Structure 1
């Protein structure tokens, strides 16, 4: 829509990143005509607050009768999303049951919104008098007053958290009438903006300056130093701070030169660019015939701008990344943009380094380890057309590229592609397929261990199956051995957590200067601490999970809420000092390896150690150079890593994911073990994998041993059909949580009764406790919905039931502050 048309349109339809689904109409003031466009963000009044909203439509008339409020400001010069992108966000909103504004929140980096938040300013003297006059000190009013006496200025959320009750607004209003508090709106500006730095350049010609040097040299020799430095600059400008530091001068000298007209100072936008610390030498790659066939087949779809979903099933080390690079070359040659999704930051360093080697500054990266400024500048660079290739985790799917020609979802099976924390709970793999369809481009789902759903879609013709069954460079798949630790214990062949077989192999590989990777998919030192006398396990006070021992700080930590407490000296129940530490985490693996191999450099990779940007890349660089001999880690070491010198992979315990009460437990175990096995023997040296287990005859482990994906899939698909699980049914999970268990039960039962009105064609499980019953102080109850795809192929029946029940519940329930959390296509039901 051009500016001329915009000038005729007086009203904007705006949505907000809030749970409500309405469109709100705002007047476009004359001074903002032409600036307000579909796809930009605007700052508007909303009730007594100020919010940032997204413009989704423009009109020249409205049916709204009451006075229409004007837009205050426009945040964006260029639209963030266009018509195609808006359709994509509308699909996410509809499919995953959220408001359009909540879906659009993903289109902008965190920290770029403007909003107001209520602050409560207390008069402590009046609050003290009111508190003293309260008869019941456990009443909600008394609790609020207690918090206000403790701290003079609070946000509403701080008070809610302190009193453990969200319904405090009526109390605050009554206190405001009594003069005990003032409630004010505090407008919070954008947390992140363009970065500008003062620069200095010459304001006169070099000849003019040379003519005045003798006079300046007599009076102000320091000014001469600055002028000569500026003359020597090739770029003819230099950052102010850098100039002062380089010339060992100060601001007064600079200001004198400005007054004399010799130099000028101005602000210049500086781009905060993420640079990948991990580096690889660029290699000449000889493509196999199979790779060429796949590149041609997908490349034809890129060239003709046609949508098609491809499942690239390539065994570990088969050259999938090189296929992505060659396809990106085709897309770029057609003037198109590319999105490369990876499930975790652990995969980003190597794949990013390889793309940078080929495409240089056309590549940008988006993931959670970037600073707010780096993310903001990457986002702006994408909008301005500077970057053509975006690599990153699931949020990279929302990069504002305008001419998509290819989407790649690497390790498509990974559960990290599912958004778990925020609404909407989208799945990036499934959303990528929809985005590709809207943009008439191919989408490539790559994996050595495809998800059951994706393989089913390929075998039933929904996706096109392409296979890379062999490793590149004549590398062979590693030999896999299962070591049953129960048998080894009887033979007295265990050295604490290591079998003698695994320990001997580690020593042998190190002797050959080869690399070793050890997997244990649990953090910490001991995963449980329990009393040897009464059997009490130390549980987190806020969650129904055991605390994990972290030996480096000698604390117990909850991996769900982050609560940390000192290790108790005695059992908190019976007082016994017979505390025992059970289970094995990555810290223990690292510690015991250090005991057996004191002169070997070991690095641990898990979320406890990769606590700062660049740390992972530093470790990988040192491992590639041989400065680190052993990597110990969680699932972060199981995928994406490609090191020619790694010839041994050890798995401490195969059962860490196998015993979880989840229908995907077998699938995840097979994928994890197959993926980590694939890190070994990726070059000419033969690789080996040793998996320690307590049940070597288990079906899943036997299929891993034989590298038999097909056999595993055939068995698993039968179990899914019998159990009425995906891909044959659609699932949805409704969860409610609250600190008051009695209210929670009443609320979820009420929602269940509403759902029962729409149960035709849908199977409902009655409300039940979640497997992890309590997290962060809140109890959790769930309802599971199942719907046969033969009855409801698109999922519309289930979504209608959920949406109607949700709306009715919010409108009528007395428990509306306990909101249902809806997860369509959940990846876990724990």
Structure 2
């Protein structure tokens, strides 16, 4: 028997391995196996099994099987093949999304150095600043080091030739070291009585004379009448493990290992509310239920204004799916949205609900993943990675806040869009999918209006709630009238004061983290930039540091200008820390909490903040876009936006759409009960078209204008985009490589519109210089995008075969959400 195995590496081939007799019953399509690959040991995915093979070379054997149950079935495999083909990645890279981090087994190459000899070679090296000299310097200090660590420290991947030469000299040895999985099943030692209580009492007289500590242990076990954790038993009885071992030898107790499941507990909790569905909600549920009952794939765009009860519709439909024996995936764009929606689903479905996101520990994610495979859970809730939960028999998929850019994978290949991929997963599972939003993406609304999706609307709020009154406050006019207090207009401060007096809650949005967003010299005009990125450093006042929000580097705040030496440094721009700090000055009695990725980095912190906010123990939330999504608190009557322009002036074709969505979403947090809500948006451009549509709550008017601009500019939904990015730590190499790639692309330009290579807007990122090519494919002539993908794939293959720059970092992004 032979298995076809793919690896989470950037090559597209499957490799054949023989299945040893002892593994014949264990190796199935969908399980992971440990196999030799070249000089390494890797974890791969089995995608096929054959009785014979045409290969004549010696075939290596599978060494181990990691899974008791398949991670994916034949149907799911089609879905991963689609992801691999559409987003131009290897099948193994796509399948890597199906398993939690830390469960792989692989070998790492390590270097064992003769430190004295390396130090001697270093003294003979003529160029002390060369890569070889830097390498010898590290090896003269560290006896054992991983090659990956050397590559990281030296910021250079091309070290193998140097290391092999040093190995020939006898200065180093290169070894393979097998690394097991970082996360495994957790087991604990338990103790319980091995004999009846009456039999145990017979031993007491003798034990009381010789081993009184053993009597204490037995009494504790008798009183508990059940198993006890060994660690707890020793702690309670203040005895040692030697005493327990003595009782084991006497045959009175037994010690055994028991598996412990690590479960993530959401700190936020809500009480179950009695909800009466409106007629409109019921109509929506009935329409989607038709597809659910018939196991029919249909895509529904649920356009419901903020507070219209979309979550309750998801719950009612999930009930029907579960009653049919089906499972459900609920996607939310960010972890910040999971506390409230998870709490509501747990209220209805109890232990049938699994949460899956990156704030969980490795152990919690692993145990939850195993629980999903063993069909313990029927409903999975989480951000984009939850789409790949190994659920069987999926009956419903929901993508909440479908417009959100967080659904796009930006970091690793494949750069999938979870909303679009979710539609394909629903298609392969013959089930309905709901895309829900108060501000649908332009592409989704276009698809709905053109009949590709079914448009369902919720035009009114539930619970007699009204939409809030939205006011624009022009900062320029306020300054002339001397009605500005630092970053706040008097209008906003007066309204905050008014709401405090009524004991109502407030949300303030400023979509920038930190205290000051720029530090610059008042004399020479120099802005302090990140040394590794072409962006300004942000001042964080709590630690008094400068931090780059792209690469994470932290630097001390300089005492003088690094260019001219002037002491006249100015802190410019406003982040959430400054907003929080100044509001505490104006309202010292106000209980304020900040909600941004700096403030809620501790596990469960967000849930605790939201609990306190719901109970009225916190009066105000100040945050980034995290506070704009999904929060539903009846006592919030005021929302303030410090600066409407933070996303408006970005050089990106989606900038207007994102600004409209952000402001409409945050405005929707106000007035979600019978109390009238109010929204105050501070701006420097009150006549801007986008802002005018926000205050009119006119999504349709915004869409009509935006769709015309998209058509004129040849952007989605009229075109499909492909973005090629090449980056390297050497600027000239990156520039030469992108020019060469462009020459290969030129052969396939028929039917496409290819931009010339240009610098990325953020030209330098994490020490890499970035160049880009944007390719447009017109949907009228290339509806599936095959022409676009073939052009990119063929150029990529040719570049890899011919280029001398093939070691530069090349990134392919199909349907990019940003071109910055």
Normalised by the size of structure 2, how large is the TM-score? Answer: 0.99
Tell me, yes or no, if structure 1 residue 108 matches structure 2 residue 99: yes
Q: Give the number of equivalent residue pairs.
A: 820
Correspondent of 2:175 among 164, 180, 184: 184
Distance between the aligned counterparts of 2:298 and 2:198, measured in 1?
65
Question: How far did residue 69 of structure 1 move?
Answer: 0.6
Distance between the aligned counterparts of 2:759 and 2:167, measured in 1?
40
Distance between the aligned counterparts of 1:106 and 1:686, measured in 2?
45
Correspondent of 2:279 among 286, 289, 301: 289
Distance between the aligned counterparts of 1:227 and 1:294, measured in 2?
62
Distance between the aligned counterparts of 2:703 and 2:600, measured in 1?
34
Distance between the aligned counterparts of 1:108 and 1:160, measured in 2?
27
SS at match of 1:748: helix
Question: How far did residue 218 of structure 1 move?
Answer: 4.3
The match for 1:4 is none
The alignment's C-alpha RMSD in Å is 1.1
The match for 2:405 is 415
Question: How far did residue 629 of structure 1 move?
Answer: 0.6
Tell me, yes or no, if structure 1 residue 162 matches structure 2 residue 153: yes
1:548-567 equivalent positions in 2, closer than 5 A: 548-567=538-557
Correspondent of 1:267 among 245, 251, 257: 257
The match for 1:368 is 358
Point out the more displaced range, 198-207 or 694-703. 198-207
The match for 1:472 is 462
Tell me, yes or no, if structure 1 residue 39 matches structure 2 residue 30: yes
SS at match of 2:123: helix
The match for 1:747 is 737
The match for 1:710 is 700
The match for 2:47 is 56
Point out the more displaced range, 209-218 or 428-437. 209-218
Q: Map Cα deviations across residues 643-685 of structure 1 (whole Å, 9 max, x no partner).
A: 1110000000000000000000000000000000000000111
Distance between the aligned counterparts of 2:248 and 2:782, measured in 1?
74
Q: Map Cα deviations across residues 203-242 of structure 1 (whole Å, 9 max, x no partner).
A: 11223223434443444343333223323335x2121111
Distance between the aligned counterparts of 2:336 and 2:158, measured in 1?
42
SS at match of 1:261: coil
Give yes or no for contact 2:186–2:260 (8 Å, CA) kept in 1. Answer: yes
Tell me, yes or no, if structure 1 residue 793 matches structure 2 residue 787: no
Give yes or no for contact 2:799–2:806 (8 Å, CA) kept in 1. Answer: yes
Correspondent of 1:453 among 443, 452, 466: 443
Correspondent of 2:380 among 384, 390, 395: 390
The match for 2:309 is 319
Normalised by the size of structure 1, how large is the TM-score? Answer: 0.98
Distance between the aligned counterparts of 1:171 and 1:283, measured in 2?
68
Distance between the aligned counterparts of 2:336 and 2:458, measured in 1?
24
Tell me, yes or no, if structure 1 residue 762 matches structure 2 residue 752: yes
Distance between the aligned counterparts of 2:790 and 2:471, measured in 1?
50
Distance between the aligned counterparts of 2:657 and 2:533, measured in 1?
27
The match for 2:243 is 253
Distance between the aligned counterparts of 2:266 and 2:361, measured in 1?
13
Tell me, yes or no, if structure 1 residue 495 matches structure 2 residue 485: yes
Give yes or no for contact 2:728–2:809 (8 Å, CA) kept in 1. Answer: no
Question: How far did residue 304 of structure 1 move?
Answer: 1.3
Distance between the aligned counterparts of 1:253 and 1:528, measured in 2?
64
Unpaired runs of at least 5, structure 1 = 1-9
The match for 2:683 is 693
Q: Map Cα deviations across residues 282-303 of structure 1 (whole Å, 9 max, x no partner).
A: 1110100111111111112111
Q: Map Cα deviations across residues 368-401 of structure 1 (whole Å, 9 max, x no partner).
A: 1000000000000000010110000000000000
Correspondent of 1:579 among 569, 573, 598: 569
Tell me, yes or no, if structure 1 residue 68 matches structure 2 residue 59: yes
The match for 1:780 is 770
Distance between the aligned counterparts of 2:150 and 2:366, measured in 1?
32
Question: How far did residue 137 of structure 1 move?
Answer: 2.8
Tell me, yes or no, if structure 1 residue 356 matches structure 2 residue 337: no
Question: How far did residue 475 of structure 1 move?
Answer: 0.3
SS at match of 1:482: strand
Tell me, yes or no, if structure 1 residue 666 matches structure 2 residue 691: no
Give yes or no for contact 2:80–2:94 (8 Å, CA) kept in 1. Answer: yes
Unpaired runs of at least 5, structure 2 = none
Distance between the aligned counterparts of 2:139 and 2:239, measured in 1?
51
Point out the more displaced range, 63-72 or 699-708. 63-72
Tell me, yes or no, if structure 1 residue 531 matches structure 2 residue 535: no
Distance between the aligned counterparts of 1:373 and 1:527, measured in 2?
37
Correspondent of 1:96 among 67, 87, 97: 87
Question: How far did residue 127 of structure 1 move?
Answer: 1.6
Q: Map Cα deviations across residues 126-175 of structure 1 (whole Å, 9 max, x no partner).
A: 22232222333344333322232233322223322333332221111111
Question: How far did residue 246 of structure 1 move?
Answer: 2.4
Distance between the aligned counterparts of 2:687 and 2:307, measured in 1?
27
SS at match of 1:556: strand
Tell me, yes or no, if structure 1 residue 209 matches structure 2 residue 200: yes
Distance between the aligned counterparts of 1:321 and 1:665, measured in 2?
28
Tell me, yes or no, if structure 1 residue 85 matches structure 2 residue 100: no
The match for 1:619 is 609
SS at match of 1:655: helix
Distance between the aligned counterparts of 2:656 and 2:147, measured in 1?
45
Distance between the aligned counterparts of 2:790 and 2:606, measured in 1?
45
1:114-153 equivalent positions in 2, closer than 5 A: 114-153=105-144
Q: Map Cα deviations across residues 611-658 of structure 1 (whole Å, 9 max, x no partner).
A: 111000111111111111110000000011011110000000000000
The match for 1:431 is 421
The match for 1:18 is 9
SS at match of 1:150: coil
Q: Map Cα deviations across residues 341-371 of structure 1 (whole Å, 9 max, x no partner).
A: 0000110000000001110000010001000
Distance between the aligned counterparts of 2:155 and 2:65, measured in 1?
38
Q: Map Cα deviations across residues 758-808 of structure 1 (whole Å, 9 max, x no partner).
A: 111111111100000001111000000001001110000010111111111
Correspondent of 2:321 among 311, 331, 337: 331
Correspondent of 1:227 among 193, 218, 221: 218
